[in-house]
Structure 1
Amino acid sequence: MQLKKLCRGLLTLGISCSLMFQTPVFAAEETTTDTQTDASAVTTNSIPGWPQGPEITSSAAVIMEDATQTLLYSKNMDQVLYPGATVKIMTTLLALENCQLTDQVTMTATGVSGVTDGGANISAQLDEVFTVEQCLYAIMLSSANDIALQLSEHIGGSVDAFVQMMNDRAAQLGCTNTVFTNPTGLPDENQHTTAHDMALIMKAAIDNESFRTIAGTASYTIPATNVSGGDRVLTNNFSMMSASNAAYYQYCLGGREGYTEASGSTLVCAAEKNNTTLIAVVLQGASGTTATEAGSLLDYGFDNFQTLSLGNNDFNMVSGGDVYVPAGATADSLTTEDGEIQDGEYTRQYFFGGNAVGTAVMEDVPEETTSFDHESEQNLEAARAYSENTNNLPYILIGGAGLVVFLLILWRIIKIAKS
């Protein structure tokens, strides 16, 4: 029985040694304590191994990957600037989140005032009735201020109440330097945002399928209404969506741009290529430059990065696990940082050179001593005890005696053979 235990103990010891020297499949799971966790503080062009981004003349810009919220490029992304007409992205998002597309909106003096406020409009008239869907196409394709004002009053009860909804929603999305004062983007010294905040707002918008449909439509017709006798044909005036414009970008999903003396040229858009969606924000640029610069930044994001799926490397992963990293990078080039455990799960954030590149939700699986482990430990102890307590001298004497007998027999055989 002791010999049997000894064999089992030696077998277990061999298995343990084999496991001990195996190479981990996913070396990137090590957590570093000095990882940069504030993504907004990272300047992407200064990250070792990170592709160099293009030079642009606009004051601030961001390129962000939609699924992972990886910041691929940033220039003064936390600088407080005027948003211009890009405000209408938030206006449209809130309408989609708080209305049915079939709801009817009746023009009041509030909305009609937008016809003469110096901004874009569709010449809506007092008491004219539109559906919410028609209103949203007017806002996203024609940047209609009259419709934006009326829709705001329809949703919030007043424009001011709607503006408060805009600010509350911005805070929910993680915006830290954004204050809205109107739903149109017309100049107001108290209305401001940042490139990073606008990227977060655009992410929420482009993740809404109805927003994608509306923003990506080339043209839309509003038929005759109760007041207007003719059709209104709306053409998407976003420069990156117009094939006849020099700034046309074939992968663009839609966006909004504008220009005022206070804001300069501003632009927010999204583009999709090979199942990857990127968000571009360019603020305070020279007239006619922001769309071209956004296009070059989008090309940089699509051409120099790749998606890695890490789910196959960790069976404890519940969801997520995709990272957007420089082309050619592997899981070994990543570090991780784990959040606090809540309800048996925790968040793991992945970093490349200190820049956040994706997250995953992990299941907290406590290490338990199994019956096999317990039996293995007993076998190892038995093997050690047997080795310590067993005297090898009897085996040596028996072996020696056997050798002497063998030699005597061999000698006798040889002697008989010679005789």
Structure 2
Amino acid sequence: MKKRILKQSVHIILILSLLFSCLPLYATEGDPGTSVPTIGAEAAILIDAKTGEILFEKNSQDRHFPASITKLMTALLVIENLKPTDMITFSEDAIYGIERGSSHMGMRVGEQISVDQALRCLLLMSANEVANGLAEKVSGSMDNFAVAMTKKAEALGAKGTSFKNPHGLDDEQHYTTAYDMALIAKELFHNEYFLEIMKDVTYQIPPTNKVNEIRYLSQQHKLMNQFSDSKLYRSDVIGGKTGYTDIARHTLVTMAKQGDIELIAVIMKSDTKSGMYTDTTKLLDYGFNAYQTFDLLKENEVITKLPIYSVKSGKLIEFATCDIVASSNESVLVSKNIKTRDIVTNINVPEYLEMGIASDAIVGSIEYLHNNKVLAKSDLKISNINYISSPYTANQPEKPTLTFPISSFLILLILLLVILILLTLFIKRKRKRKFKHKKLKFSKTIK
């Protein structure tokens, strides 16, 4: 009976072992959230907000009309050039320079609001006349501001972008790419003031010099507004901007953060609003589930040590050592299929350093590679110089000493002289002994 029970137990253990062995230890391409998503929009991209590394892309370099996601660039230039407390007075051109029926806040000619209030109208309600007013405040005119927008885009690496207005209404010469919009969003991602504005799902503009009523604002990005659509809302979304025109169709920029992973998703020319949000959700889920962060370096982390030499009398003399440390923090977002053992580290430093080098000088670099692709790189600098002797003694020049070149001929000559002297002394001593012996013999004979 006991043998039978034991045999059945063994069978059960074997069956369970086979079942568990079939379960994956790590996420695979077939797992929900980790497989490469299928995107319905004409163009899309997902990037690491820290490094700009592309995690997913679909036609990301194709030019499209951006619609109101243009206003992210408008906000960036305003934040860089104006103070939140600066006041804007709306001109007639700003108020009436937009299409009838387009997004607006109903501002009046001569009405005044602060830059802070205007930015909230711009980013939450996508107000086009407010975009015009901000542009005039920064550059004097909307045309001048559009030139500044394009120049800023180029400076950020957005080479496929041309801006012709601050609001994004359709213009044949007003276009961008999903990749370029991701770069613009990346610049805003770590701007504290921008993120503070994004935290406000609702906002109120108090009465102004022209309007006696309170204006109520509400975030239009559904992934950020739990009151607008609780099913779409994501707590990890921290910023973004919606856009739509009949020609551009639906466009969306979304910034999200989970732990130390920061992502930017851009959707361009989606046929439907629901499709735009579905595509964005797929991209974010893919990024957060299929990727992981490796912390490669910490600033001032000791990488190696090097000797410091002084050159004295043509010789290298070690008088100190120093730590070689990383000059920056470096982390990288990589696929969860990659393990730390798969990453190669290359340290590029000289064999030694020479006296007089600055105490914080850059002396080399360290880089991390996977499949010959550089994942991260940092300069290496000097830190903590430790003197073998005191710095004063080590840096003092040696006292001059007399040195003579001694050739083999001179050595031979000296040896010959020594031998000659010894031989002379030996002969003299021998003669002296012989003389004493003769004298003694002579004395004995007389006696």
Between the aligned partners of 2:89 and 2:58, the Cα distance in structure 1 is 43
2:232 aligned residue: 247
Q: CA deviation at 1:276?
A: 2.2
Change in CA separation of 1:361 and 1:234 when aligned onto 2, cut-off 3 Å: same
Q: Counterparts of 1:13-162 in structure 2 under 5 Å? A: 52-114=35-97, 116-162=99-145
Aligned partner of residue 240 in structure 1, secondary structure: coil
State the one-letter code of the partner of 1:319: S
2:294 aligned residue: 308
Residue among 139, 163, 166 paired with 1:180: 163
Unaligned runs of 5+ in 2: 1-28, 305-324, 351-360, 389-447
State the one-letter code of the partner of 2:280: A
After superposition, give the CA deviation of every residue in 1:154-210 in whole Å (9 maximum; x if it has no partner): 100111111111111111111111111111110011111111111110011111101
C-alpha contact (below 8 Å) 1:60/1:284 kept by paired residues: yes
Aligned partner of residue 123 in structure 1, secondary structure: coil
Q: CA deviation at 1:332?
A: 3.1
Aligned partner of residue 327 in structure 2, secondary structure: strand
C-alpha contact (below 8 Å) 2:327/2:379 kept by paired residues: yes
Instruction: Please identify the structure whose Cα radius of gyration is greater.
Output: 2
Change in CA separation of 1:230 and 1:309 when aligned onto 2, cut-off 3 Å: same
After superposition, give the CA deviation of every residue in 1:326-366 in whole Å (9 maximum; x if it has no partner): 1252333235789999x736666645456664x3322267x
TM-score w.r.t. structure 1 length?
0.70
C-alpha contact (below 8 Å) 1:223/1:230 kept by paired residues: yes
Residue among 206, 216, 223 paired with 1:223: 206
Q: With CA pairs under 8 Å and 6+ residues apart, which has the higher RCO, 1 or 2? A: 1
Between the aligned partners of 2:128 and 2:364, the Cα distance in structure 1 is 45
Between the aligned partners of 1:69 and 1:329, the Cα distance in structure 2 is 19
C-alpha contact (below 8 Å) 2:220/2:242 kept by paired residues: no
**Does 2:335 align with 1:318?**
no
Identity of aligned residues (%): 31
Aligned partner of residue 152 in structure 2, secondary structure: helix
Unaligned runs of 5+ in 1: 1-45, 372-419
Q: Which has the higher helix share?
A: 1
Change in CA separation of 1:114 and 1:345 when aligned onto 2, cut-off 3 Å: farther
Change in CA separation of 1:194 and 1:350 when aligned onto 2, cut-off 3 Å: farther
C-alpha contact (below 8 Å) 1:310/1:331 kept by paired residues: no
Between the aligned partners of 2:66 and 2:41, the Cα distance in structure 1 is 13
Change in CA separation of 1:135 and 1:347 when aligned onto 2, cut-off 3 Å: farther
Q: Counterparts of 1:159-238 in structure 2 under 5 Å? A: 159-238=142-221
C-alpha contact (below 8 Å) 1:325/1:352 kept by paired residues: no
State the one-letter code of the partner of 1:331: T
Change in CA separation of 1:346 and 1:208 when aligned onto 2, cut-off 3 Å: farther
**Does 2:362 align with 1:344?**
yes
Let me know the Cα RMSD of the aligned residues.
Answer: 2.9
Between the aligned partners of 1:127 and 1:270, the Cα distance in structure 2 is 35
Aligned partner of residue 223 in structure 2, secondary structure: helix
Residue among 331, 339, 343 paired with 1:330: 339
Q: CA deviation at 1:250?
A: 2.1
After superposition, give the CA deviation of every residue in 1:76-107 in whole Å (9 maximum; x if it has no partner): 11111111111000000110000000000001
Q: How many residues align?
A: 320
State the one-letter code of the partner of 1:274: G
2:380 aligned residue: 363
C-alpha contact (below 8 Å) 1:259/1:287 kept by paired residues: no
Change in CA separation of 1:257 and 1:337 when aligned onto 2, cut-off 3 Å: farther
1:294 aligned residue: 280
Between the aligned partners of 1:228 and 1:215, the Cα distance in structure 2 is 25
C-alpha contact (below 8 Å) 1:320/1:360 kept by paired residues: no
